[in-house]
Amino acid sequence: MSPLLTSPGSAGRVRVAKIVGRESKDAFMSKHLERDLENLQRDILALAASVEEAIHKAIRSLQDRDVELAKEVIHGDDKIDEEENAIEEECLKMLALHQPVASDLRRVAACLMINTDLERMADLAEDIAERAIDLSKPPLLPIPEKLQRMTDLTTSMVRQSLDAFVNLDTRQARTVCRLDDEVDRHNKDIIDELIRVMQENPPMVAPALSLFSATRHLERIADHATNIAEEVIYLAEGEIVRHRPAAFHEKS
């Protein structure tokens, strides 16, 4: 048995009491950190649900030329901004109060990054909605067929990146990262098509530029989904894979 625990007299009892008190405090703080981390994940997922809804509505307003739906997306962005601010404040409080280390620190850091990516996705959804309002006015520009495939891929990437976060699924996260190249190819094809339209039909220049912008915003949403997937890999493996395309094929 440790000499400390067998020390006779009041001095030994005081030392034992201090150790027990410190252990009790550490257990208390650990329990509260675990609770705060659970609440943080819940808040992140609630924000993600709001952002996903904004993206779906924005794209639908573009495809259906639905001005009222587009306005709904624009007006809803303030609430998403408030949610993002609240999550950031909570992360900073946790860092200051709990001073987490190792995997707990990675989780808070990842949540901070994911929080920012989600808010920027919402901003891009608002931008798409604004372009949808422009495209609802004559002359009406036909929506390229490839936009639907690009939309399906992008929304799938958003959903899969969030599923990977919930399940700490690095295989799924790496799949999301690889899908980004396909979205980029669709984006390039649509832009090439819009350039041809503008060259052949000058009156369509203004609407084509609006659709060009909307397509670019959609591609940026896919980029942010990729960022989230990269944060999942960092969270689960402690490895920073950003700007390292080869890492998307490792451990898969």
pLDDT in tens, 161-187: 999 999 999 999 999 999 999 999 999
CA gap 113, 231 in Å, rounded: 7
Q: Which residue has the tokens 């950031």?
A: 88
- Asked whether 145 and 194 are in contact (CB, 8 A), the reply is no
Task: Give the pLDDT confidence score for residue 215 in this predicted structure.
Answer: 96
pTM of the model: 0.85
| Pair of tokens at residue 63 | 């495809």
pLDDT in tens, 50-70: 999 999 999 999 999 999 999
Identify residue 35 by its one-letter amino acid code: R
3-state helix, strand, coil in the chain (%, to 5): 85, 0, 15
**Arithmetic mean of pLDDT over the chain:** 88
Q: Which residue has the tokens 């989230």?
A: 228
- Asked whether 115 and 88 are in contact (CB, 8 A), the reply is yes
Closest CA to 170 of 114, 250, 109, 90: 250
Q: Which residue has the tokens 């990516």?
A: 117
| Pair of tokens at residue 157 | 């990437």
CA gap 184, 117 in Å, rounded: 18
Closest CA to 157 of 223, 101, 109, 203: 223
Cβ neighbours around 87 below 10 Å, total: 22
Residue 78 has pLDDT above 80, yes or no: yes
Cβ neighbours around 159 below 10 Å, total: 14
- The rounded percent of the chain whose pLDDT value lies above 90 is 76
